[in-house]
């Protein structure tokens, strides 16, 4: 079993519904941070973090520039910035060009996290309508982290996890009802 | 009986978030990203409350609200005008809306606004 130092969850259309379902079942005793990168438009940041916070007793917060990454905390990527993880275990926010038409790009965060956490990283790609995140999972494969994908048959929009399964090496394909248990087992 | 809220906004993320929040609060929600055929949309659902965004495809929020407020069967339905525009109160007044909500807003403000109009 992997010694998980960080879990990064990426998703797009249909992923918020999954998060709402799994957050209440995630143990308060997890030993790692959960970093959430989902595509969305500007103007919903605080509302999203606030909504997620109603689903868990874990600390939920929107990432701030240079913020230190702490365990037992759920971090939400702000809209319109790429979210990068630095080697000193802080976040940085980047306003460079969109990747896969997306900012934040899931690929950018997965890749960045893979470089820092390598074999101690777990990345989960949820429902979505484009392939952002797939190259990130391939990078996770390269660093021998763990790559997870939502079972496409349980996804509102199956393209994103289906592409992941097609193109990356996926260690576990998870149904929505299996996710929280699996995440809890990583501690 | 569950009270119904109809939310008009071209930002689908706002629609999704508000739906999750207000369904949790016990309301039934319908959403639309367009003001096209506004009278038909509202007539077929007959909500207890409407949220109307300022920027909508087809006719804008002002014209859509005016259309609803001039319709004999729909004018009694309260309309909350919402926008990130600094002049949201003036826009709401021009539209003939019953009240307004500035974006961004938090969950408590949203729920209080709904409860104040149709709270159980």
Enzyme catalytic residues of A: 12, 39, 132
Give alpha helix (H) positions in A97-147: 106-117, 134-142
Band of residue A40 on the pLDDT scale cut at 50, 70, 90: confident
**Range 49-78 of A in CB contact (< 8 A) with B:** 50-51, 54
Band of residue A28 on the pLDDT scale cut at 50, 70, 90: very high
The backbone torsions φ and ψ at residue B9, rounded to the nearest 5 degrees and listed phi first, read -160, 140
> What pTM was computed for the model?
0.91
Alpha-carbon span A57 to B11, nearest angstrom: 29
Percent of chain A with pLDDT over 90: 93
Cβ A40–B13 below 8 Å, yes or no? yes
**What SS3 class is residue B60?**
coil
The pLDDT tens digits for A93-106 are 999 999 988 999 99
Percent of chain A with pLDDT over 70: 99
Band of residue B90 on the pLDDT scale cut at 50, 70, 90: very high
Does residue A45 have a pLDDT over 80? no
Q: How far is A68 from chain B (nearest CA, A)?
A: 25
Cβ B104–A40 below 8 Å, yes or no? no
Q: Which of B11, B16, B104 is opposite residue A16, by nearest beta carbon?
A: B16
**What SS3 class is residue A46?**
helix
Number of domains observed in the structure of chain A = 1
**Residue B67 maps to which CATH number?**
3.40.50.2300
Q: How far is A92 from chain B (nearest CA, A)?
A: 24
Q: What is the pLDDT of residue A93?
A: 97
Cβ A48–B11 below 8 Å, yes or no? no
Q: Which of A40-54, B7-21, B97-111 has the lowest mean pLDDT?
A: A40-54
Q: What is the pLDDT of residue A161?
A: 98
Domain span including residue B82: 4-118
Q: Can you give the C-alpha Rg of chain B in angstroms?
A: 13
Q: What is the pLDDT of residue B120?
A: 60
The pLDDT tens digits for B45-60 are 999 999 999 988 888 9
Residue A1 covered by a domain: no
Domain span including residue A126: 6-185
The whole-chain average pLDDT of chain A stands at 96
Cβ A43–B104 below 8 Å, yes or no? yes
Does residue A185 have a pLDDT over 90? yes
Q: CA torsion A111→A116→A122→A124, rounded to 10°?
A: -30
Measure Cα distances from A5 to A90, A92, A114, B45 in Å. 13, 18, 11, 49
Q: Find the mean pLDDT for residues B64-86.
A: 96
Band of residue A42 on the pLDDT scale cut at 50, 70, 90: confident
Q: Which of A40, A45, A51 is opposite residue B21, by nearest beta carbon?
A: A51
Q: What is the DSSP string of B27-56?
A: -EEEEES--TTHHHHHHHH--SEEEEES--
Q: What number is the ipTM of this complex? A: 0.81
Cβ A47–B107 below 8 Å, yes or no? yes
The pLDDT tens digits for A158-182 are 999 999 999 999 999 999 999 999 9
Mutate to test the interface with B, among A23, A46, A47 (most CBs of B within 10 A): A47
Q: What is the pLDDT of residue B1?
A: 86
Band of residue B28 on the pLDDT scale cut at 50, 70, 90: very high
**What SS3 class is residue A125?**
strand
Q: What is the pLDDT of residue A41?
A: 79
Q: Which of A40, A43, A50 is opposite residue B107, by nearest beta carbon?
A: A50
The whole-chain average pLDDT of chain B stands at 94
Cβ A51–B16 below 8 Å, yes or no? no
Q: How far is A182 from chain B (nearest CA, A)?
A: 25
Q: How far is A33 from chain B (nearest CA, A)?
A: 24
**Residue A126 maps to which CATH number?**
3.40.50.180
Percent of chain B with pLDDT over 70: 99
Q: What is the pLDDT of residue B6?
A: 98
């Amino acid at each position: 079993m992997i010694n998980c130092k960080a879990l990064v969850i990426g998703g797009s259309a249909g992923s918020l519904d999954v998060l709402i379902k799994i957050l209440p079942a995630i143990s308060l005793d997890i030993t790692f941070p959960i970093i959430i990168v989902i595509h969305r438009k500007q103007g919903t940041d605080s509302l999203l973090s606030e909504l997620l916070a109603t689903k868990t007793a874990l600390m939920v917060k929107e990432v701030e520039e240079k913020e230190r990454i702490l365990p037992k905390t759920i971090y939400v990527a702000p809209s319109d910035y790429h979210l990068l993880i630095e080697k000193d275990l802080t976040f940085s926010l980047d306003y460079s060009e969109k990747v896969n038409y997306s900012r934040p790009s899931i690929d950018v965060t997965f890749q960045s996290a893979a470089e820092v956490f390598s074999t101690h990283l777990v990345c989960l790609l949820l429902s979505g309508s484009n392939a952002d995140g797939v190259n990130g999972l391939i990078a996770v494969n390269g660093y021998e982290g763990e790559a997870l994908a939502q079972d496409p048959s349980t996804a509102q929009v199956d393209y994103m996890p289906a592409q992941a399964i097609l193109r990356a090496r996926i260690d576990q394909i998870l149904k929505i009802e299996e996710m929280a248990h699996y995440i809890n087992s990583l501690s | 009986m569950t009270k119904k809220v109809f939310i008009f906004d071209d930002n689908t993320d706002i629609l999704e978030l508000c739906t999750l929040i207000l369904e949790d609060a016990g309301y039934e929600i319908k959403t639309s990203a367009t003001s096209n055929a506004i009278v038909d949309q509202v007539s077929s659902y007959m909500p207890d409350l409407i949220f109307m965004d300022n920027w909508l495809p087809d006719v804008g929020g002002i014209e859509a609200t005016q259309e609803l407020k001039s319709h004999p069967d729909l004018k009694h339905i309260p309309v909350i005008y919402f926008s990130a525009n600094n002049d949201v109160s003036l826009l709401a007044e021009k539209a003939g809306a019953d009240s307004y909500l500035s974006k961004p807003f938090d969950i408590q403000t949203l729920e209080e606004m709904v409860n104040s109009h149709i709270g159980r």
